[in-house]
Structure 1
Amino acid sequence: METAATALTFRDAGDVDVDALVALIESAYRGDASRAGWTTEADILQGQRTDPEGVREVLKAPDSRLLTVEQGGRIVACCQLEHRGDAAYFGMFAVSPTLQGAGLGKAVIAEAERQAQATWGVTEMHMTVISVREELIAWYERRGYRRTGRTTPFPYGDERFGIPQRDDLRFELLVKPLA
């Protein structure tokens, strides 16, 4: 069995990766497969997390990259990086559920921060997390991110983001200084 210590290859995603990335993201967040890891949203959201169109939008967006992580020749993690002035936005983060808890996520987020700072000279990393995801927010806090208390509404009624199973969902902005 592979572990997070096995050599990782970081590269920008391309159109050829779309289907594999959709499968990875869905497996990390939705359905029974996601329960193998700890990042599942299956209890708060059903339906899709993303689709090929959503991944292609990230690939085509200006000042955006979809960092893809391979291990042993297969895609095991990914994250979006988007340049936004003095900050970079970190999103679409997914780690294969069977590899979660072994340090892979820590390695990916550290490399994403390094690349955002080196490429764009940003001084902060921003992300939004569903505010009821306390365990996930605590994980990000251990990586140096801080809750801001600034929230935006969850897009209820837009099934591209999933089908909410509760009525108190919103996104909270987390920020980490990089300089």
Structure 2
Amino acid sequence: MRGGGVADGTGRLRTADLDDVPAVVALVERAYRGEASRGGWTTEADLLEGQRTDAASVAELVGAPGSAVLLLEEDGALLACCHVRVLPAAGGPRRAYVGMVAVDPARQGGGTGRAVLDAAVERARGLGARVLEMTVITQRTELVAWYERRGWRRTGEQRPFPYGDERFGRPRRDDLAFDVLERSLAGPSAGP
């Protein structure tokens, strides 16, 4: 996938390969964990510490069939990424999962996240998906609201947080869970 851009018309969209794994891991960590993440609004630093992902996990996403990690770059710098994968058939319309949406903290709030999420929606449509799914930490109400403004809705389903598995970080609270969100791809792209 080539072309595209962010809200101001700059940037290049492409699909990650294994050479991109270290840069993707660094971006995801910077966007969600530690002090650097506090420069944007999507930080999870008050909820979790430690890593958000690792090279082995990202490499698995990059190499898996029916899976793509989309990168949005500008002048050789990685601004944002997003993972899209087709879910196994379970009856009903074809579904895809969207995750690992990460935007450099210095670029948050300017349309970069919207651009990479729109690219994920288009990739999922191209894969034949009619419904998108994602999970967001329940306590991230401002992030859930951002997704809702883009056409996602809460399903009412919650999934447990993987306590005890430090590949996902070390929780700073004992009440973390994931809300499941969905978005239909039957109509046009969502608004602002």
Q: 1: distance between equivalents of 2:158 and 2:166? A: 20
Aligned pair count reads 176
Please point out which of 92, 96, 101 is paired with 1:88.
96
Is 1:170 the equivalent of 2:177?
Answer: yes
1:12 aligns with 2:15: yes
User: For residue 110 of structure 1, what is the amino acid of its counterpart?
Assistant: D
Select which of 126, 133, 148 maps to 1:126. Answer: 133
Structure 1 position 152, deviation (Å): 1.0
The amino acid across from 1:146 in the alignment is R
Match of 2:175, SS state, is: coil
Separation in 1, partners of 2:9, 2:56 = 31
1:146 aligns with 2:149: no
Deviation at 1:8, TM superposition (A): 1.9
**What TM-score results when the alignment is normalised by the length of structure 2?**
0.89
Identity across matched positions, percent: 53
One of 118, 122, 130 as aligned partner of 1:114? 122
Task: Give yes or no for contact 2:70–2:116 (8 Å, CA) kept in 1.
Answer: no
- Residue by residue, what CA displacement relative to the aligned partner does 1:124-158 show, whole Å, maximum 9, x if unpaired? 11100111100000000000100011011100000
SS in 2 for 1:21: helix
Equivalent pair of 1:81/1:112 in contact (CA under 8 Å): yes
| Structure-1 separation of matches of 2:170 and 2:106 | 25
User: Over aligned residue pairs, what C-alpha RMSD do you find?
Assistant: 1.1
Deviation, 1:15, is 1.1
Deviation above 4 Å: which 4+ runs of structure 1?
Answer: none
Match of 1:77 in 2: 80
> The residue matched to 2:72 in structure 1 has which SS?
strand
Is 1:79–1:93's contact at 8 Å kept on the other side of the alignment? yes
* Structure 1 CA distance for aligned equivalents of residues 32 and 67 of structure 2: 22
With 95-104 and 105-114 compared, the bigger mean Cα shift is at 105-114
TM-score, normalising length: structure 1: 0.95
Whole-angstrom CA distance in 2 between matches of 1:36 and 1:79: 20
- Contact kept, 8 Å, 2:13 with 2:70, in 1: the verdict is yes
In structure 2, list runs of 5 or more residues that go unmatched. Answer: 1-5, 187-192
**8 A Cα contact 2:161 2:176, kept in partner:** yes
Deviation per CA, 1:19-66, whole angstroms, max 9, x where unpaired?
111110000000000000000000000000011111111112221111
Consecutive unaligned residues in structure 1, runs of 5 or more = none
Q: How does 1:18-97 map to 2 (within 5 A)?
A: 18-84=21-87, 85=89, 86-97=94-105
Partner SS state of residue 24, structure 1: helix
* Cα offset, 1:6, TM superposition: 4.5
Q: Distance in 2 between matches of 1:13 and 1:40?
A: 23
CA distance in structure 2 between the partners assigned to 1:142 and 1:25 by the alignment: 23
